[in-house]
Amino acid sequence: MTKVWSQKEKYRIWFEIEAYACEAMEEIGLVPKGTTNNVLKASGVDYDVAEIDDIEKVTKHDVIAFLTYLSKFIGESSRFVHQGLTSSDVLDTCFNVQLLNASNLLEKGLDDLLFALKERAFEHKDTVCIGRSHGIFAEPTTFGLKLAQAYAEMERNLQRLQRAKAEISTGALSGAVGTFANIDPKVESIVCKKLNLNPETISTQIIPRDRHAMFFSVLAIIASSIERIATEIRHLSRSEVLEAEESFSEGQKGSSAMPHKRNPVLTENLTGLARLVRMAVIPALENISLWHERDISHSSVERNIGPDTTITLDFAITRLTKVIKELRVYPENMKRNMIQSKGLYNSQQLLLLLTQKGVSRENAYSAVQKIAMQVWESKDLDFIKEVQEDDFIKSYIDENELLEISKLEYHTKFVDALFNRVFGQK
């Protein structure tokens, strides 16, 4: 990803755009035959970044500095290079090519992440653990369902990324204020085709920035989904919970002070990285409202958030994939925590059975809540046992019925159906 944003790669793309434009102009007779051949003398040049910088110190204009540098290699024909173009044509089209290249890498990263999530999801499809709402024991679920949810969310993100990629896959070679006054629209269409871009429907010298705002918004959503998964793992790693844990390598040290420590540092790091990716959204939105046909306030923003955000997200996706792949899962601790819940997770089935038997919802709720609160506040009471001894409840429900609803299978009966919804029929 770093290569996508290197100075030399940028110059390479700039040259590509100028060369394709020349070729197109030669094709439709706007520059003399043979011009493109001369221009191509500069292909493969190992750009001397320092020298171009020196020229820019005088011109205070990056594209003109680049063209001046190029002319050394091209000679007399260089007067046809950039003909009818304005620097935005080159800069904006190049930026979109870079975003497109970055998107392809991110897409590849998401594919790998999805693969890892799917594998671990199936591995733990039936690994029962307690589900928690508000951080409080609720009802049983499976670890595989947690990963299936993450998979479904990331698959949505992949689709969003693909649409966002389509949004920024446009190029513009429309000249000053976008009127094509000095350049034939055919040149734009030929160059865009070669770059796998669509011509921008209408540009005002610049490609409109609503497209880029959409792009960075999608990156922020992906990063926030990563944070969601990272936060789940951080919670499961807590000393008191320890249902899963990041792998900890030979020689690794958790703390400079406390040799006993093993910390979920990778997922904490992912939490921070999500904040960094998210912060690009507001400036990307502020970039939309440029003055008249264009101003250049967006430029410094994009020079920063373009590389920073895609590199950070790419790193985060790769890191999360590794975390998922190597995640240590502890089914025994999941059982231990489930037992710790003292059977309270059966409260709903009981409530519903009572209403089915004719008890009003309010009364059923009160009866069940009363027992549940006693168990909650006790050290060693067991919910099912307490229920069995409750006269009110006994008058409606017999022991067998109670046994039936308190089986774990009661909660997992639709796991396969849910896996089918997420991963498709096998």
Residues that are catalytic: 134, 255
Q: How far is the CB of 416 from its own copies (least distance, A)?
A: 11
Tokens 């969310």, located at residue: 153
Q: How far is the CB of 80 from its own copies (least distance, A)?
A: 7
Are 149 and 418 a contacting pair, CB within 8 Å? no
Q: Which residues contact 138 (CB under 8 A, 6 or more apart)?
A: 130, 131, 132, 345
Q: How far apart are CA 285 and CA 209, in angstroms?
A: 8
Q: Which is nearer to its own copies, 46 or 258 (CB)?
A: 258
CA nearest neighbour of 312 among 424, 220, 182, 184: 220
Q: How far apart are CA 384 and CA 372, in angstroms?
A: 10
Q: For the chain, how many residues are written?
A: 426
Are 178 and 172 a contacting pair, CB within 8 Å? yes
End-to-end CA distance of the chain, in Å? 35
Q: How far is the CB of 54 from its own copies (least distance, A)?
A: 12
Q: How far is the CB of 147 from its own copies (least distance, A)?
A: 10
Phi/psi for 206 (5° steps) reads -110, 155
CA nearest neighbour of 195 among 61, 395, 6, 16: 16
Give the DSSP H or E segment for 82: none
CA atoms within 13 A on the CB side of 159: 5
Q: How far is the CB of 328 from its own copies (least distance, A)?
A: 10
Q: How far is the CB of 166 from its own copies (least distance, A)?
A: 11
Residue 380 DSSP one-character state = S
Q: How far is the CB of 323 from its own copies (least distance, A)?
A: 13
Q: How far apart are CA 180 and CA 343, in angstroms?
A: 74
Q: How far apart are CA 243 and CA 335, in angstroms?
A: 9
Tokens 């792998």, located at residue: 247
E strands, 309-387, in order: 328-329
Q: How far apart are CA 117 and CA 416, in angstroms?
A: 16
Q: Which is nearer to its own copies, 321 or 412 (CB)?
A: 412
Alpha-helical runs (H) found in 75-204: 87-123, 143-168, 185-194
Tokens 């409109």, located at residue: 208
